[in-house]
Chain A
Amino acid sequence: MAVSYRLRVDPIACDGHGACAELLPEVITLDDWGFPIIRSGPVERRLLRLARRAVSSCPKLALQLERVER
């Protein structure tokens, strides 16, 4: 059983602060209005620590790191 992690944003809670995109540009870019677009697929292992920092950096707690078991 393989475990992977995916980033997901709650679009209602998200206010477009953008801290997440600054911390993790490899996975998160901003649309034309400053809201995060998350690259689909699991987060690479080498980026997981940054991903967790991005999650805790969100002032609205809108970013979530989900554990996916396959």
Chain B
Amino acid sequence: MLADAGVLGSRPALPVDSRPGAPDDGPDALPRLLDDLQREGRLDGGRVSLPSHRQRYPAPPRPGRRREELIRRIELAGLRGRGGAEFPTGAKLRAVGRGWRRPVVIVNGTESEPVSHKDALLLARHPHLVLDGALLAAAAVGAPDVVVAVKGGLAPAVQAAMSERRDETDVRFRLVVPPERFVAGEETALIHLLNGGPGVPTFKRRRPVEAGVEGRPTLVDNAETMAHLAQILRFGPSWFRRVGTDEQPGTLLLTVSGGVRHPGVYEVEFGEALAGILERAGAVPNMAAVLLGGYFGSFLHPSEVARARVTSSSLEGVGAAIGCGAVVVLPEGVCGLAESARVLRWMAGQSAGQCGPCANGLPAIARASGELCRSGDGAMLHLLERWAGQIEGRGACRLPDGAVRFVRSALRVFADHVPLHQAGRCQGISGLLPIPEQRATGRQAPARRAAGSGNRPGPTEGLGAWR
């Protein structure tokens, strides 16, 4: 274990675990988040009850007390968000707590990524760890309100957990179930919904940490982030930093699926070799590719998988990022181009239709990727690269960026597969990647926005042909 000054570099040496008699009895090794679940045998069913949870974790303090100390400990721990953006949590807490209006805390448990299930696991099986994290975040920023956003299926379990602890706190809890769209889990979309609007992203001058729900400073954090927060404040920043790397301390949850014998949620530490994790999951020996970060992520070539570590720096080199931590193994025999076309078609249908580049660009990219799969036409490669470059960064949310990252990685990893499609000789199968049904939601998103139309676009029939 490194001395605090060494781990924390040039920061002033603070006695991080200075509470008198503070027991430093955090789990020695991994698992950490999943530790209680494993010991109680709740990984596959049931959940950790409040009384059982309280044997290890004291009830969080009231909002407003010891705010600076709480924020400082999270900063020292170096916790970063686990929803995909990896924003430093301490900095976010500090920004939210800076305002003069009383903030709102939102736990983002929507997990719209179809191949990610780690937040669902935490919320179903260990909701009290997540809720403790939310209450501690509320205490750190002085928020009297905590909102938990989840998919419909998790609502009863989370509601029950929230009711169980009402006597413990004055903080007002609220559960919200956003519409089942990919973008509904986006930060500004959640805030938009809570402000009485539709669950689609907004484009505002002021960021959520300054003005969000009801114009109040709003903290939006992923469910797993909240769970880490609770553990850090219970066992200390030094404990948190005992595993992982200096830049990325601690553990994270990966959802591993696809060509693996043991699919499921794995807790790993930053810096671990990806190949080792896949081996533990029983991955097939011959892989076509690995998708890292879900549909919002990117493909890795098997040779890249062999060298990759679970760190941003290792993955940056191959144009990838951990994202939400979803890992899908594509076995040999699966056609990567066909699977990519299916995912892109789904992503196009998930556009809120608010921004021209996305509402037009995503369907165009989806069609071109489908055509590439059908004919191997080289012109499609050119169009895909052109459109990817055109739409990147030009939406109100990051959906177009996710699609761009995904398609670029598909073109990179499956490039030498294109000649097979030109010759009409691809024998690969498709249908491995789970694509959710696109149901019409109550409020139809506008169809692709025709430039210069100036009027309200019509319903989505235009997108119907290739859903």
| Residues of chain A at the chain B interface (Cβ within 8 Å) | 10-18, 30-35, 37, 59-60
Q: Which of B425-448 contact A (CB under 8 A)?
A: 448
Q: Which one, B95-103, B178-186, B352-360, is touching chain A?
A: B352-360
Q: What mask results when residues 333 to 366 of chain B are scored 1 for a CB within 8 Å of chain A, else 0?
A: 0000000000000000000001111101100100
Q: Which one, B12-20, B211-219, B386-394, is touching chain A?
A: B386-394
Flag if A37 contacts B396 (CB, 8 Å): no
Q: How far is the CA of A48 from the CA of B15 in the complex (A)?
A: 53
Q: Is B317 positioned at the interface, with any CB of A under 8 Å from its CB?
A: no
Q: Is B451 positioned at the interface, with any CB of A under 8 Å from its CB?
A: yes
Q: Is B453 positioned at the interface, with any CB of A under 8 Å from its CB?
A: yes
Flag if A33 contacts B360 (CB, 8 Å): yes
Residue pairs across A and B with Cβ atoms less than 8 A apart, 22 shown, are A11-B354, A11-B355, A11-B356, A11-B358, A11-B394, A12-B203, A12-B354, A15-B454, A16-B356, A16-B449, A16-B450, A16-B452, A17-B451, A17-B452, A31-B394, A32-B360, A33-B356, A33-B451, A34-B356, A35-B394, A35-B451, A59-B454
Q: Is B202 positioned at the interface, with any CB of A under 8 Å from its CB?
A: yes
A67 to B: closest C-beta gap in Å: 12
A26 to B: closest C-beta gap in Å: 19
A14 to B: closest C-beta gap in Å: 6
CB-based nearest B residue for A34: B451
Chain B: residues with Cβ within 8 Å of the partner, total of 25
Nearest first, the 8 closest Cβ-Cβ pairs linking A and B are A34-B451, A16-B451, A35-B356, A11-B355, A33-B360, A31-B390, A12-B354, A12-B203
Known: A16-B356, A16-B453. 12 other contacts (CB 8 A): A11-B357, A11-B396, A12-B355, A12-B396, A15-B449, A31-B391, A31-B394, A33-B448, A33-B449, A37-B390, A59-B454, A60-B454
Q: How far is the CA of A17 from the CA of B451 in the complex (A)?
A: 6
| Of B202, B387, B452, the contact of A12 (CB 8 Å cutoff) | B202
